[in-house]
Structure 1
Amino acid sequence: MDIFRLKTNISVFLLCFLLSSSFSLVKAQTTYISAQSGNWPTGSTWIGGVAPGAGDNAIIKDGHTVRLTTGGTGTFINDLTIEAGGVLDADNKEMNINGKFIVDGTYTSFDPSAQDLNFNGDTLGGTGTIAVNKPTSYFIFGTNTKVLPSAHLNVFGHIRIASGVTVTNHGMIEVSGELNGQNATSTWTNDAGSTVEAANLLMSTGVLNASASGNTVVYVQQADQAVKTPSASTYYNLTISGSGIKNTSSDLIINNDLTISSGTLNSNGNSLQIKGNWINAGDFTEGTGTITFNGTIDQSITNASGEVFYNLTVNKSSGSLILNNDVNVSGTLTMTSGVISAGTGVLILGTSTATTGTLSRTGGIIAGSFRRWINSTGTFLFPVGTSSNYHPLNITLNGLNSGGTLTSKFNESVPGNTGLPLFDNPDSVFNTFVDGYWELNKADGFNLGGANNYNITLDGTGFTAFTIDGSTRVLTRADAGSAWLAQGTHLSPVGNVARRNTLTTLSAHYAFGDTTNCYPPSTSAITGLNEVCTGTSGVSYSVTNNPPNTYNWIITGGTQASG
């Protein structure tokens, strides 16, 4: 009987223990919702009349302000949600959150004696405000944390990332104070599509990962600010804002856009590689570094006041570098590959006759205007052309009265036949090549001098109007309204390069002249209907063949039966 009672007591004890354990587990997941404004430990503040415990979850509703009153190590909670319009006033007390932290309202500790906000959970989100007012207190990330993609949080005060902890940002965080690590093992990672705005030090201690596609790092301090060198020295989007000078301390790679919205970016002689667009509405101090554009898509440079670089390198395997304004290179312009599309702007090499700059070209084309400062005799390359063909102009100055600038451009338009035919011993020149013409304009005090002359070479690669042969001439005119002249001395072309010596007219236009055809090339319209009804067949089209012209036929929604 005693043994039976003992077994019964043990069974009852185990049952009670299991029930107690189950109750504890359920209780640990209890969510408490604020009923009204009040102090955190006061039961009447919460629906049900009981304050949440350390293992519970809490929700502060719209219109309610809940105030912390527990000193020492502070208040503990698992998940904490502050709804829009809700306020958690930490006053001068410490807060500890060990689960999910969602702030659509306000967490505030605007008190001179504000204490730390310790976050040891794994998820941060919301679109509200977190404020830790005291300069020596922090919003501390104590464990690895993910910031939700939907987050757009404003943090007033400092953020500290604990040793060995990684915060991965998928949303948008704006920080008014420092965002810093405890030591070199602390990490902030901007994931794809995320944004962090830093108004003070950004990971001056620790690691910054900022290369993920679509992410943006913005430096917004209203004073001088250091630009962090991220892992692999790589940003995706880098934005400079605020005021003062934002200083780089090493070479950087920008995998997409560099934007200077306001303030000044000082590269301090360091180099920048840009794979996207350059947008400058502030100031850039170029120092002696090199700006390299090496993206594989179209890129652009925008500065309404005109951009100035020390060294500029263009190395594009595809796409164009589009100049939306003038761009000036005071040091070395290096052209490795790719098209520089100047548009209505001008690419300028040098800043004066004292600083003429250096051109180093192994590939690439300037489609548009290229200006060079020149202060001596010698040969000068203008690597101009179109987006598809390279038509460089080389000028050799045999004498020079005073230096200045020469600006060249290849115009892909018909040069006209004004002044033709003309005799250039022993041939008559009947037509210009309709493929285009060059112009070369002097300015800024450039004066060849009445007793001096120059030689010129022009590359007609890709020209199809006539055959370039030994009699192909270089013709000259003063401007678009003048007649073509056979000035200077003819030299036979070398390949597709036509040559002329002892020219004297500057500014001038240049075109290729043909001596073999009395009539210019002609074209004829394609005959036939622009549109054909569905089911129709046997519709014919024709064009008169005028070699060397070619025609492209584009058929949409039908098939070519013959021809």
Structure 2
Amino acid sequence: MKNNITPLTFCTLLGFFLLMLSPIVIKAQIVSAPPGGLWNNPATWIGGIVPGAGDNVVIASTVSVYPTSQCNNITIQSGGILQNRSSNSYTLFVNGNLNNQGVIQNSTYSLTVNVKGNVNNSGSMTNGTLSFTGTANQQMSSTQPLHVDNFVRTAGSGRILATTNLSFVGTAIDLNSDTLEFTTGTALTIDGGNLTDGVMFRTAMPALQITTDNGTHVNNFTIDSQEARLYGTLLVFGSANTFKHNVINFGTLKSQNNNSYSLTVDGNLTNNGIIENGAYSFTVNISGDLTNNGTWQNYNTVLNGSGIQNLTMTQPYSGTLFTKNNTAGRARALSGLSFVNTE
């Protein structure tokens, strides 16, 4: 009897047979039922299965996290609500990506969302904490202002990559010595929050535009951008803040009111707005060029560069002190200079 199975056909059949024997891992997608409910209740989910660490979740109704819960990717659809159970504060661990088109909010207490992947927000986020916990770079995009209480980076490697402009209202941004890098995003707005313990980075032009108001302050923070443009009012807290390269102030730059503080500008500083003291004194240390086209009236401005530092003024400097403290290099006037009540 003639055998019609060729070697190629045999190999194909064998491969198919072995594939059928191999375990296939498919992440389930679990969708919330119309009534919604508690995360740990099977009745909350279509099919009656409570999501686990490897499941992709779609929130199409109101789901309350209880107890501490986890999933892989999660999407909150328009009309969907993700919140904590109102009896206490709870945490959701997202091992993949978070896509919010609906509402993420607190319910009486606080909801913390820890994310290892990327975050995309086109809805409303007013919950307690959004924490980036991945060990690789994590992308962040948002077309709506974020009203979270805390925006935190907790991993020891990787960084947050802002792929859109970002806007925060009442948010404490704590990078824990990590970096928020603006890639395709070019603007940050903070209304009534703070920037703490980290680096804001942009590698190339156009300039990074930073708008702050309502008591927003920086503390132990570095702005590292080829050009940073400051708008609104920014308060400087502490004396471990550094702004690098070219800094242009269009708003008000001053020390916070509770003590005397200083700012280091490791580069050039152009003032088109106001630089002044808070309730106490404010010292600005500059290693590059100084240009004043506005009101400059802080306690002390220190030229500490080791090379030539060019000075240009179209408006007078009226700070208490104007100092050169590095014996190397020199200060070179490129225009007339005017000082009012300055030592």
State the TM-score, normalizing by the size of structure 2: 0.64
Identical-residue share of aligned pairs (%): 10
Q: Is the 8 A contact 2:165 2:186 kept in 1?
A: yes
Letter in 2 for 1:265: V
1:207–1:165 Cα change, 3 Å? same
In the alignment, does 2:224 pair up with 1:253? yes
Does 2:25 match 1:52?
no
SS of alignment partner, residue 220 of structure 2:
coil
Alpha-carbon distance, 1:282 to partner = 6.5
Partner of 1:176 in structure 2?
Answer: 149
Alignment match of 2:295 (pick from 325, 332, 355): 325
Structure 2: how far apart are the matches of 1:250 and 1:176? Answer: 19
How much does 1:108 deviate?
1.1
Q: Please state whether the residue corresponding to 1:185 is helix, strand or coil.
A: coil
Amino acid at match of 2:161: T
Summarize the alignment of residues 47-86 of structure 1 with structure 2, pairs less than 5 Å apart: 51-52=46-47, 77-82=55-60, 86=61
What is the CA-CA distance between 1:157 and the residue it aligns to? 1.9
Which of 312, 329, 334 is equivalent to 1:364? Answer: 334
**Residues 314 and 207 of structure 1: is their aligned pair in 2 closer, same or farther, counting only changes over 3 Å?**
closer
CA 1:291–1:114: 2 relative to 1, 3 Å = closer
| 1:185 shift after superposition | 2.5
Which amino acid is the alignment partner of residue 96 of structure 1? Q
Contact 2:297 2:317 in 1 (8 A): yes
For the 8 Å contact 1:115–1:132, the answer to whether it is kept is no
**2:314 equivalent in structure 1:** 341
Change (3 A) 1:169 1:237: same
Equivalent position of 1:228 in the other structure? 197
AA of the residue aligned to 2:314: S
Deviation, 1:168, is 1.2
The amino acid of 2:103's aligned partner reads G
1:124 to partner: Cα distance: 1.9
Alignment of 1:125-524 (within 5 A): 125-126=100-101, 128-131=103-106, 138-142=112-116, 144-145=117-118, 147-148=119-120, 151-162=122-133, 164-171=135-142, 173-177=146-150, 179-181=152-154, 183-185=155-157, 187-195=159-167, 199-200=171-172, 202-204=174-176, 207-212=178-183, 213-216=185-188, 218=190, 220-221=192-193, 227-230=196-199, 236-241=208-213, 243=215, 246=217, 248-249=219-220, 252-254=223-225, 255-259=227-231, 261=233, 264-268=235-239, 270-273=241-244, 274-280=246-252, 283=255, 287-291=261-265, 294=268, 300-303=271-274, 309-312=283-286, 315=289, 321=291, 323-328=293-298, 330-332=300-302, 336-337=309-310, 339-342=312-315, 346-348=316-318, 350-351=319-320, 355=321, 357=323, 361-366=331-336, 370-373=338-341
Q: Is the 2:255–2:276 Cα contact (8 Å) retained in structure 1?
A: no
**In structure 2, what is the equivalent of residue 102 of structure 1?**
76
State the 1:113 CA deviation: 3.7
| Post-superposition offset of 1:176 | 0.6
Residues 187 and 272 (structure 1), Cα distance of their counterparts in 2 relative to 1, 3 Å cut: closer
Q: 2-side partners of 1:191 and 1:81: how far apart? A: 25
Deviation at 1:184, TM superposition (A): 1.3
Change (3 A) 1:288 1:134: closer
- 1:289 is displaced (CA, Å) by 4.4
What displacement does 1:293 show?
6.3
Q: How many Å apart are 1:80 and its aligned residue?
A: 1.1
Equivalent in the alignment of 1:529: none
Paired residue type of 2:99: L
Unaligned runs of 5+ in 1: 1-13, 55-69, 376-563
Structure 1 contact 292–315 (Cα < 8 Å) conserved:
no
Q: Deviations over 1:373-430 (max 9, x none)?
A: 478xxxxxxxxxxxxxxxxxxxxxxxxxxxxxxxxxxxxxxxxxxxxxxxxxxxxxxx
Q: Relative to 1, partners in 2 of residues 1:111 and 1:166: Cα closer, same or farther, differing over 3 Å?
A: farther
The residue that corresponds to 1:492 in the other structure is none
Aligned AA (1:208)? T
Distance in 2, Cα, partners of 1:41 & 1:78: 16
Q: Conserved in 2, the CA contact under 8 Å of 1:190 and 1:209?
A: yes
Indicate which of 59, 74, 96 corresponds to 1:121.
Answer: 96
Secondary structure, counterpart of 1:116 in structure 2: strand
User: How many equivalent pairs are there?
Assistant: 302
AA of the residue aligned to 1:210: E
Change (3 A) 1:139 1:250: closer
In our comparison, the structure showing a higher alpha carbon Rg is: 1
Q: Is the partner of 1:138 in helix, strand or coil?
A: strand
> What residue is the counterpart of 1:382 in the other structure?
none
Structure 1, residues 344-374: CA drift from partner, whole Å, max 9, x if none?
xx323x52xxx564595325225xx712547
Q: What is the CA deviation profile of residues 32-70 of structure 1, one whole-angstrom value per residue up to 9, with x for unaligned ones?
A: 57445667633xx78xxxx2365xxxxxxxxxxxxxxx6
The structure with more strand, counted as a fraction of residues: 2
- The AA in structure 1 aligned to 2:42 is P
Q: CA deviation at 1:202?
A: 1.1
Q: For residues 152 and 265 of structure 1, do their structure 2 counterparts lie closer, same or farther at Cα, with a shift above 3 Å needed?
A: farther
Counterpart amino acid of 2:224? Answer: I
Partner residue in 1 for 2:42: 41
Q: Residues 260 and 283 of structure 1 are in contact (CA less than 8 Å); yes or no, is this contact kept in structure 2?
A: no
How far apart in 2 are the matches of 1:305 and 1:156?
A: 35
Q: Check whether the contact 1:306–1:326 (CA below 8 A) recurs between aligned residues.
A: no
Unaligned runs of 5+ in 2: 1-15
**1:125/1:226 Cα in 2 relative to 1: closer, same or farther (>3 Å)?**
closer
Residues 1:101 and 1:325: Cα distance change in structure 2 (over 3 Å): same
**Map of 2:6 onto structure 1:** none
Contact 1:138–1:159 (CA under 8 A) maintained in structure 2: yes
Q: TM-score, normalised to structure 1's length?
A: 0.42
Shift of 1:161: 3.2
- Change in Cα spacing, 1:99 to 1:286, as seen in structure 2 (3 Å) is same
Residues 38 and 163 from structure 1, CA distance in 2 versus in 1: closer, same or farther, beyond 3 angstroms?
A: closer
Question: Following TM superposition, by how much is the alpha carbon of 1:107 offset from its aligned partner in structure 2, in angstroms?
Answer: 1.0
- Cα distance in 2 between the residues matched to 1:306 and 1:110: 46
